[in-house]
Amino acid sequence: MEFLSEIDRLKRVDRQSLITGRVRRENSAEHSWHLAMFAMILGREADGIDPWHVVRMLLVHDIVEIDVGDTPPHAPGHDPATIGERELAAARRIFGLLPGAQGQEILALWQEFEAGQSADARFAKALDRLQPLLLNTLTDGGTWKENGVSEEQVVSRYGPTIAAGSPALWEHARQLVSRHFAAQGEATLAEPRAL
């Protein structure tokens, strides 16, 4: 119960993504729910994937952010040299609130996700990239527009991780990205230009 009380704090960790309606940024708890739904729905159709294992990984994958915060890989403060250590310390502290065997199991799930080697972990990581991609297409460009990210940058930043987890999902996501940028281009052309 101490663990279940502590993780309530994930609701106060904000991410970069806007939620639909563009009313505010997404927090890591609701992001984890959305990802679990992605895994439940899309994992059922994927060969060689255990949806329950993927759901469990995704439910716990961001809990370390309670101590470390959300640090997007392209943000200025992102330091890959130290973030791994800080996240591991957070995982040990928070999962250590659980009784021994269960704490070890959750730590192993989180480590499997971080390592990204197993088919289930690669699929989980693909969904963790697909979900913000979908949100950006649903929020008029969202963080892409805020940061002036081009279609080519989207493809290079999202493509490898999504394709490694599921080539079929990347094929679909690539179409969403093309349609999004094509529509943005048309909207820009349609704007009245100053002389």
The residue among 33 and 78 lying less far from a second copy, judged by its C-beta, is 33
Interhelix angle 100-115/80-95, rounded to 10 degrees, is 160
Q: Report d(CA 13, CA 17) in Å as an integer.
A: 12
Residue 27 within binding range of a second copy, rule CB under 8 A? yes
DSSP string covering 123-138, please?
A: HHHHHHHHHHHHHHHH
The span of 12-20, 117-125, 155-163, 179-187 binding a second copy (CB under 8 A) equals 12-20
The span of 13-21, 113-121, 147-155, 186-194 binding a second copy (CB under 8 A) equals 13-21
Closest C-alpha among 173, 174, 180 to residue 139: 180
Residues 142-161 that bind a second copy (CB under 8 A): none
CB of 189 to a second copy, least distance (A): 26
Residues 40-59 that bind a second copy (CB under 8 A): 40-42, 44, 52, 55-56, 59
Contact between residue 64 and residue 90 where contact means Cβ atoms under 8 Å apart: yes
Residue 29 within binding range of a second copy, rule CB under 8 A? yes
Q: Report d(CA 67, CA 87) in Å as an integer.
A: 8
141: left (phi over 0), alpha (psi -120 to 50) or beta: left
The residues of the shown chain that bind a second copy, judged by CB under 8 A, are 1, 3-5, 7-12, 19-21, 23, 26-27, 29-30, 32-34, 36-38, 40-42, 44, 52, 55-56, 59-60, 98, 102, 134-135, 138, 172, 176
